[in-house]
Structure 1
Amino acid sequence: MSLSDQLTAFLVRSCRDTVLLPWDEMALDELVESPLPASASQLVRLAREANSRAMGDRTDLSLTTLRADRIRELLAVRWGVGTDHLDLAARDRGFSSPESAVASARPFYLLARYNERATRSASLV
């Protein structure tokens, strides 16, 4: 078989219907059998409750109005880096950019900022 045919065969054989790669599937299998999904569910519930309480008290407050610079500062503290190294720290954790990390952290900011114990005990941050 020519090199071109070998490459074509490799690409066709490696093509899948899903975006999951074999190592992702193994990691997901491990995840399903761990206590992490329950911890994540609890963390989401606590964050929703904190956000609802805060927004009930302040009608001008919403997740979109939270200051990105404060979320960046909290992420830097949690990750043990300076804000000038947040780009690399975010990429180390699978985010494409610090902005992506901030967007992902936004729903959890109030909980993490004002109830650090809850977010630390969930072992997710």
Structure 2
Amino acid sequence: MVASSNGSVGRRILVVDDNVGAAKMLAMLLKRLGPHEVETAHDGPSTLEKAEEFKPNLVLLDIGLPRMDGLAVATELRKRAHFADTLLAALTGFGQEEDRQRSKEAGFDEHLIKPVDVDTLRQLLEHPKLSS
């Protein structure tokens, strides 16, 4: 974690979305919200590789990914002990109760519906799991 001159704490954030433009826009927004290091990935297998290299504090993970969906990615990350404290947030268009239950069972800490607003992102960046 890195603190800025205004006291905000920087996070290592991995943004995962198969819509490359959406991932880039969210990454730019997150960088404006604090001194965050932000990387992007666009499918399941590359997310697992990037997570191992980058060691994010927070993963904003789309569920509807090609090659390996976000539920499978979250399940795989949770199998790896060094990601036990990583905040996993589903960022998806799927918002029914059964979708939320499936994301919880896969290991997600939070379930956000697209498009996510700035206030929700700010709250997520203050999540208790990120303060350790």
> Which structure has more RCO (C-alpha within 8 Å, separation ≥ 6)?
1
Alignment TM class, shorter chain as reference: under 0.3
> Normalised by the size of structure 1, how large is the TM-score?
0.24
